[in-house]
Amino acid sequence: MRIAKRLPWSILVILVLAVLFRFIYIGTESLWLDEAVNVLLCEEGWGSIREFCVDDGAHPPLYFILLHLWTLLFGQSEVAVRLPSALMGIIAVFLTCKVGYELYSRRVGLIAGFLLAISSFPVCYSQEVAPYSLLLMLTLLSFFIYIRILKEDKPGKKHLILFALVNVLLCYTHLFGVFTAGAQVLYYILYRRRYAGARNVFWVTQAVTLLVFAPWIYVLITNGILNDTARGLAWIPEPSLSLLNSIARGLAGAGFAGSAWGTFLMWFLIVLCLAGIFYLPGAMRIGQKKKKAKNTERATRISLFAEPETNLILIWLLLPFVMALIISFAYKPILVDRYLIGIVPALYLLAARGIVNIASLIGDGSTRAKATTAVLFIIVAAVTASGLYSYYADYHKLDWRGATAYIGQYAQPGDAIVFYPDYERWPFVYYYGGEPEITIISHRAVLGDTGAVAGNERLWLLQLPLGTEKDVSIQRELFYRFGDEALIGWEIVEPFIIYLFDI
């Protein structure tokens, strides 16, 4: 009850929606490959986590350590392992509201928080066993503390400890957490005179963060960016216009929407962000009656990049993307939409600011201004919600639960199974109970050694959808080697085709 009394009803409504959209259907779809790998990794313990993260090159160990501790307490069911991401996604929505209020006004914070609550992009990663919801939450928490430090005349030790702790955790969550810290450094350098009172706390915090994170910087550079075979980054394609368009749509929450609606939402948000960049005195007065401008001469002009607060959002939004783009061209591709999830709140904060700015042109507090705000907000919210509906209506992950259940129903002692590629076996390992025991054989062994399955009586082939020529060659090789009559059963478990050979 105390919490409910302290929070405005509008924030409570937004948080209720955030809870609803992150908990509904959270265990409906099967774990996909990365989720299964993360769960099985955490089951093995500290040594395996460290070895995996060192070889991976992009994902420091914090999330996996937290997941390991969580599974010890709550088990490894689909709902249990996805629940931490959902909880962190809800906290991220609350922090977006708070950051918007600290920078601009309650109205901006509420609009941005609501859009984050219903956006399919953060909702998707709030229902996935992956570090991206943690990355989103820690990014917002870091910026919230950062803003509070800048606003204090003389920040104390409490701010130093909190800011250093959060930034260390952020950097140990993902490679892109380092870019967030870089954005804060760049902004402070540009406005160091304005925030001279925070100088000591800020730079001491950066030094502490660098010192504590230093052991992993070497890993990120040598095993990640400079290593061509790094497991965590080797799969990422070269940047292209189509890839950039896909990333922009995804970050805007349009990744699951139809092509036309998704394109409309992306460009509409871009227009709102451009409107949010401009300083409009009328917009500043909304919800800011008690705040006085430090420079009244500048406050009377309309100019690009006039507000330090807006510049902070722009640097937050653009620097991680630009840094990732530069590294992708100079060294190796690292540009992935989910890696950039930390900039999504900046996108919605700037769009919310744009909505308020456009309404201020009509007149402060007038009925027409309020109607304009409502119309713009409803347009963005409605199209964003269409993407969320598509996310829930369509299955986006392979049905490993169904495929494994089918194999388990008909499996017998002495059976073997082959996958292509080999690493696709991990979701099967997660779901299969182990009785009767099924031997997993490498596809290379099947293709290269006629005696690879000599010790088994039957062989399962689980063919993934959209199979490559190698998938087809495995199927053809089995028919050629054992004959058509060896096929004793097959089944389609969408989207898999499962074959069973008597060998």
Domain boundaries, the chain: 26-393, 400-502
What confidence tens digit (pLDDT) does each residue in 322-368 have? 999 999 998 889 999 999 999 999 999 999 999 998 888 776 667 88
- Higher-confidence residue of 10 and 367: namely 10
Residues contacting residue 275 through CB under 8 Å, at least 6 positions apart: 353, 354, 355, 357, 358
Hey, how many other C-beta atoms are within 10 angstroms of the C-beta on 216? 20
Distance CA 28, CA 128 (A): 12
Burial 298-324 (b: 16+ CB within 10 A, else e): eeeeeeeebbbbbbbbbbbbebbbebb
- CB neighbourhood size of 345 (10 A): 27
How many alpha carbons lie under 13 Å from residue 294 in its C-beta half-sphere?
8
pLDDT, mean over the chain = 86
Lowest mean pLDDT, pick from 204-213, 252-261, 280-289: 280-289
Q: pLDDT, tens digit, for every residue of 243-263?
A: 998 999 999 988 887 778 888
Least confident range from 8-22, 29-43, 49-63, 345-359: namely: 49-63
Write out pLDDT tens, residues 89-125: 999 999 999 999 999 999 999 999 999 999 999 999 9
498 SS3 class: strand
What span, in angstroms and rounded, lies between the C-alpha atoms of 308 and 191?
8
Q: What is the pLDDT of residue 359?
A: 85
27, 39, 79, 89, 381 from 86: Cα distances, Å: 11, 16, 10, 5, 21
Residue 430 has pLDDT above 60, yes or no: yes
Report the chain's terminal Cα–Cα distance, integer Å: 66
Q: How many residues can be counted in the chain?
A: 503
